[in-house]
Structure 1
């Protein structure tokens, strides 16, 4: 299960239900995908195929939607 938190432009931001407990968000795009840690600070954890510009845009969206992502995490994972 991979619930979508939000979509913006060509990006989809989502969680995998059975993955590590450290808070993070996955980002998919037609060109590739990335993963961002949310704690202890927002940072890129993995990138496969996205350009520097796409990673920067995704990072900006994660920062802008941080509270929404965090709330969705707690609702989905119950912690």
Structure 2
């Protein structure tokens, strides 16, 4: 991945790309895979920070 792009993914109700700026399809697949691997951790961190 690079620092030149930006992507936003919705985690709920299901993992979905919301916005992409300058990432290739392959890079987005890699990012999505990382999110899937850490999905529960990401959701828990969000809930701890913002409340459930």
TM-score, reference length from structure 2: 0.90
Q: Which runs of 5+ in 2 are unaligned?
A: none
Q: Distance in 2 between matches of 1:64 and 1:35?
A: 17
Residue in structure 2 matched with residue 64 of structure 1 by the alignment:
37
TM-score, reference length from structure 1: 0.61
Q: Distance in 2 between matches of 1:33 and 1:67?
A: 22
Which structure ranks higher in relative contact order (CA pairs < 8 Å, sequence separation ≥ 6)?
Answer: 2
* Larger fraction in helix: 2
Deviations 1:6-27 (A, max 9, x none): xxxx5xxxxxxxxxxxxxxxxx
* Larger fraction in strand: 1
Q: Distance in 1 between matches of 2:28 and 2:49?
A: 25
SS in 2 for 1:47: strand
Q: Which runs of 5+ in 1 are unaligned?
A: 1-9, 11-28
> Structure 1 runs of 4+ off > 3 angstroms?
none
